[in-house]
Amino acid sequence: MKIATITYSWAQNWGAALQAYALVEYLNSQGHSAKLIDYREFDGKLISTVKSVPDGIYDLLTLPESIRRVKKYINFRKDYFKLTEKCNTTDELEKLNGQFDAFITGSDQVWNVGHGVNRDFYLQFVRSDKRRISYAASFGVSDIPNIHRRDTIEGLGNISYISVREKTGKELIKKMTGQDSAVVLDPVFLLSPKHWEAMMGSITEKSPYIFVYPTQISKTLRKCIRRLKKMTGLPIITPFFIEGCKTVKDIGPLEFITYIKKAEYVVATSFHATAFSVIFEKPLYVVTHSQTGSRTTDLLEQLGLEDCILHNENEIGKCCWNYQDKKSIIQKKISESKAFLSQALS
């Protein structure tokens, strides 16, 4: 079957790029002919991932590293994305109906209403005679403001086979529409650890380290990483400026998975840093985001790994990473996720 997927493929975000690649790669491995819609211009801004004022200042002081980071994203897209022609408007998207049999929206926060409802991510450009599927779509939050509910409900009504990434998304859809939906794993879980390991990039770090990837730099996060650094004696590497840590700004998608794979410990608020830590079975601590924390807590609860969640620095050292005990749960969730795609496309 000829399939087109649509997601945040333009963003300078490691997880977004990797999940976009993973879904298309998996579909093609199953005998389909899949492509990622080249939706909107790639965000090539040198300063686009700032998490705090000090981080923004550090970006300005390390522009050569930021240039290298952007080039790594461009090369990743060139080497790993199987893309359609560029589509920057809904009219251009509509032309794809003549080329594909099925369209899949997701994964990642395609249904986040932070900037309003994006109708393209609800496949409203797709003709009714085509198969319309959401795979692991995320709202990113646990509630939809009233101002966006009508458009969200209308968009959901356009999709024939609905799956979401978090149970909070399933509950939202049930509350708004009365519809049931499937909860599946993010596409990065559809590919094996060996597949990801074969793609790892090169990093200069040779000695043991803690990798920290925050989507929010909170007081709790700072206290937790200070405690872990003191307990282990290991240096901290992070893509963002945090006092007392080594900041590396030229990380591309492949270096992202490499830093996680080779870390002694990972501390994350990021969904995809959490996901890859699970895939590589790394000792993991999660400090949840104050607004979008349900993304990571839902994933860890699904897999029976909620012990990884920290509420304060005193919980450092109390986690127990029983990945061997959880393998059957993880494999079952992966099988269920693959079965959803198979059924939706059959």
For residue 50, is pLDDT > 60? no
> Closest Cα to residue 284, out of 302, 272, 292, 295?
272
Paired with 104 in beta bridges are 5, 133
Q: Are 113 and 154 in contact (CB under 8 A)?
A: no
Q: Are 82 and 21 in contact (CB under 8 A)?
A: no
The token pair that represents 254 in the structure block = 């492949």
Q: What is the DSSP letter of 108?
A: B
Q: What is the pLDDT of residues 175-223, one digit of tens each?
A: 999 999 999 999 999 999 999 999 998 888 889 999 999 888 889 999 9
Q: What's residue 341's pLDDT? A: 98
Q: Are 238 and 211 in contact (CB under 8 A)?
A: yes
Q: How far apart are CA 305 and CA 43, in angstroms?
A: 34
User: Peptide bond before 192: cis, by omega within 30 degrees of 0?
Assistant: no
Q: What is the pLDDT of residues 110-139, one digit of tens each?
A: 999 988 999 999 999 999 999 999 999 999
Q: What's residue 154's pLDDT? A: 96
B/e letters for 109-126, b = 16+ CB within 10 Å, e = fewer, are bbbbbeeebbebbbbbbb
Radius of gyration (C-alpha) of the chain in whole angstroms: 20
Mean pLDDT over 159-170 rounds to 95
pTM: 0.93
Q: How far apart are CA 303 and CA 316, in angstroms?
A: 20
Q: What is the DSSP letter of 120?
A: G
- pLDDT band of residue 66 (cuts 50, 70, 90) is confident
For residue 30, is pLDDT > 70? yes
Name residue, tokens 């086979």.
161
Q: Are 188 and 336 in contact (CB under 8 A)?
A: no
> Closest Cα to residue 314, out of 220, 215, 243, 232?
220
Q: Are 265 and 185 in contact (CB under 8 A)?
A: no
Q: Which amino acid is at 161?
A: Y
